[in-house]
Structure 1
């Protein structure tokens, strides 16, 4: 069970915690394809070949293994590689990526996201802690966040202990005074537990815990259920 008296800050995952990420990514990829069809049709045609697209992405990921934490960089370089392979100008990679990235910020929040954010941000500093490349300000929820720490900005990704420590530092508290909330059992829960945080596992799909005997302090199916731990919460 959570010890509410210990909580002085909240760190919060974004993708699949506040919104479903894959519908957003698929929509952004379609917007990118539409842009390529207009500005780089040979690349658009090449991108329609799933095996080619996957091979290019795999080659970029392998070549830049030291940048595995930077999804924006990997996406940009994969676009550039496809452009070059198709015979289109490589400098189109930057505007193409910007089209993708802008659409990637258009998310459909879960119904429980805004009430929970409003409730917590009135009580604690809330810090976004993400391996992804969503920007809370471009998404339109920045007013609820004290700070954001990303894998890209820090150079390491969850479950690395350092990103959780950085999240606590951004909030101005010690790790044991943080409640971390996230959907990924390994990246969020295992990492935050190792950092000494209290952890709430947002398990919307009812998955089994398969990461040893040390479990999150609380498992919930939605954020309303988590907020209900505070007696004053009114959904």
Structure 2
């Protein structure tokens, strides 16, 4: 366990020692802050029962920077190690393959949490300036950020899987971006084909991140998305573990 935490600290330090991490953090907060301002402005111009937190998290504009962060955060995880040859050090270290995979994954997850943590200040500042709450209840805050965590866990695991497949970071980024886009935009099927079969609509809804966020941002909790994202995350990490083991055996 001590060796696992040593690896984890190594991965976290690696993130915060790279200029790219701060560029991603700055650009992400700048874009997301602008989207928050647009949502508040839209609510000011029209009478609506929609809360600020719903307007923010249900905005389609928010999902574009959201999706783009995952390839950037994960493309170097294994690919850089393969390219530089430092993976040999990890493979000969007195730690298990599972510890290596999990340390890289949780290192990326830690930075993902750091990426979203400052956005809580948007709602605090809104409350201080306007004297009004951005949500009707605490469950809306909790639900929105809970789903961000669950979806982030799954998409980061996809990035880990893509990075474990190749030594080229650009290829890893493209593969993870393509898979994440495919999973995410499944929800638009019902909008493009509104007359689609009800059974197909139910399946799409089950996998629809947009629909899940619409519910969770209203404080409406459903155990099915929780089970879905946790299960998919574990399965994807399982695949990553076996791919890493295979490459170790080949080397």
Same fold (TM > 0.5): no
Higher strand fraction: Structure 1 or Structure 2? Answer: 1
Tell me the TM-score normalised to structure 2 length. 0.25
Structure with more contact order per residue of length (Cα contacts < 8 Å, sep ≥ 6): 2
Higher helix fraction: Structure 1 or Structure 2? Answer: 2
